Amino acid sequence: MYYEPRLVTVGFDEGVTAEELDDAADELTRDLDETEREQVERSVAVINAIYGSPERLRTLAADIVAHWEKRRARMFPDLEGPGKALIVGATREICANLYSAIVELRPEWHSDAVDGGVIKVVYSGSASDQPPISDHVRRESENKVIKKRLAKPDDCLELVIVKDMMLTGYDSPALHTLYLDRPLKGALLMQTLARVNRTFRGKDAGLLVAYAPLTDNLAKALAEYTLADQRERPMGRDVGEAIELARALVGQIRDLLSGVDWRSKLGGPRGWMDAAGAVANWIRDLRNPANKVAEGQANLTARYRHLTTQLGRAWALASGADNLADIADEVRFYIEVRAWVAKLDASERSESGRPVPAEVARALLTVVEDSTDSRDVIDINQMAQITPPDFDHLTPALLGEAQASANPQLAIEALRSALLIEAVRVSGRNLVRQQAFSDRVAELLNRYTNGQLTSAEVLLELYQTALDLSVEAKRGEQFEPPLGLDELAVYDAIASNASAVEVLGQPVLGEIARELIELLRRDAKTDWTVRDDVRAAIRAKIKRLLRKFRYPPDKSEAAVALVVQQMEALS
């Protein structure tokens, strides 16, 4: 839990001291009885006069809106959304008036519907309440709806203003910020802080923004924890620590990137993108010595992702500090490059059928708004400085562009990605051909990684693979009559046995493929892939058909299994 004091000046009425204000706040936390009512009403009047003046609430509302809009943007990548915040006011009247001041600045946040709106107020009330307090008094069932909305990470509700409801016992893991505008002490203060200290997705710390004087009370409340708790300091860390951490992480990232001169590219017409491309190219270069690590050790991509993830979290807490202005652009650059590298990593993983790690998925959500280049869609072809390949009209100019790229690793990745996507498109659901092209590309990159091919040579091989892909869709035309895509997929399954091609030849295998597709269309029911009895019957018919054409028996079992797998893909 990090602590950020943002005191909004209060004006004490004549004769009211800070000590009396604290005493008045204490009165508001006690259980009421008839003898205390008059005393508490006087306390409420004091609090309203001090914390609830119209000028102060306008200042407070403006600061909360500005702070929250920055804070939610910083937290978006780690939480896969804006997250949630609680605003704690001193009295119900202050809560109601603060709501009005906020929605005056952001009217689109308001909604009369209990299940709509970005901001709500929750407190208890009675029939005797008058506006503006009565405007937010609801039935308990309606308050429960709001509480449930705040607990749902994907609900549009982001801010809830409370007096003392939801400060204890309420749980919303997506809560990451607490705006506190009332004096709190002791156990209630610690219980309130606990609302935002839950870890969730990429969130590992909460933020307390104190608009009321709190430092002494916070220190005293922390002192009530055990010695072990104090050593671990789970709460009460000053934002100054996040500032120090952000600077330290920037230093570590500078050291990590010392092998690439990205700053010199910032002055060009595409400065931001060229610099980011240079860093991404250097980090992902498979032959970079820094990527030659022992099994179990982190490569450059993993180390960069780890450091920039930590930096993003520290920056989300500390970015409002004036003394960080000198590194603000640099931090945004590093975090945006993380998103670019994450896109490359995610593309590579998804195209090879591997899962995308959660931290990579979160990094893809990173958006940096302060750079013209950063508003562009992340495009690997732009980063690699090559034209996206048109597989219907391939020319040697594409190869020339790729081999002349200042970022050859990105050019290789751009062609690899385009090839695998095109292989899926032109081969339809043809498992054999998809795997063949995937294996061919993987083998090329493996030879490149092992130093058997230069970047120019691997680009030439990838270009040749692209030429082969460009005629893939017409391959069925060589048969008489031509094979459709489904028939060609089954043909490739039975032709994967070299002895079958040698003994039977393409025309006979083509005829087998036609009859197998006819069998599938005639006998396979809608749910045949999940019914064991129907699957067994289909397998038996495939075996009889292969025997009919004297398919080589040494590979017939493997052929049947592959044909069934291909038929399932076609269903």
* Model confidence pLDDT, tens digit, residues 24-82: 545 444 444 444 445 555 556 666 766 788 888 999 999 999 999 988 988 887 788 89
- Separation of alpha carbons 472 and 420, rounded Å: 13
pLDDT at residue 121 greater than cutoff 60: yes
Tokens, residue 466: 């692209």
Find the length of the chain. Answer: 571
The pLDDT mean for the chain works out to 78
Q: What is the pLDDT of residue 225?
A: 42
pLDDT confidence tier of residue 350, bands split at 50, 70 and 90 = low
pLDDT at residue 155 greater than cutoff 90: yes
The answer for residues whose C-beta is within 8 angstroms of residue 396's C-beta and 6 or more apart is none
Q: What is the pLDDT of residue 343?
A: 73
Residue 408 CB: number of other CB atoms within 10 A? 19
Among 54-58, 253-257, 369-373, 491-495, the minimum mean pLDDT is found in: 369-373
Q: What is the pLDDT of residue 453?
A: 81
Within 375-430, residue ranges assigned H as helices are 380-384, 396-404, 408-427
Looking at this protein, which amino acid is placed at residue 183?
A: P
Q: What is the pLDDT of residue 558?
A: 84
pLDDT at residue 222 greater than cutoff 50: no
pLDDT at residue 326 greater than cutoff 80: yes
E-only strand ranges, 395-543: none
The percent of residues above 70 in pLDDT, for the chain, comes to 78
Mean pLDDT over 534-559 rounds to 84
C-alpha distances in Å from residue 82, one per residue of 118, 162, 208, 361 = 11, 20, 17, 15
Among 10-24, 160-174, 235-249, 502-516, the minimum mean pLDDT is found in: 10-24
Q: How many CA atoms lie within 13 A of 464 on its CB side?
A: 9
- Separation of alpha carbons 505 and 518, rounded Å: 21
Q: Say which residue, 117 or 450, is predicted with more confidence.
A: 117
Q: What is the pLDDT of residue 238?
A: 62
- Predicted TM-score of the model (pTM): 0.48
pLDDT at residue 17 greater than cutoff 80: no
Q: Is the backbone of residue 371 left (phi > 0), alpha (psi -120 to 50) or beta? A: beta
pLDDT at residue 433 greater than cutoff 90: no
Q: Say which residue, 226 or 327, is predicted with more confidence.
A: 327
Asked if omega into 132 is within 30° of 0 (cis), the reply is yes
- Separation of alpha carbons 396 and 565, rounded Å: 38
pLDDT at residue 227 greater than cutoff 60: no
The percent of residues above 90 in pLDDT, for the chain, comes to 18
Among 224-238, 263-277, 453-467, the minimum mean pLDDT is found in: 224-238
Are the C-beta atoms of residues 89 and 164 closer than 8 Å to each other? no
Are the C-beta atoms of residues 461 and 444 closer than 8 Å to each other? yes
pLDDT confidence tier of residue 214, bands split at 50, 70 and 90 = low
Q: At what angle do helices 485-495 and 556-570 cross, to 10 degrees?
A: 160
pLDDT at residue 23 greater than cutoff 60: no
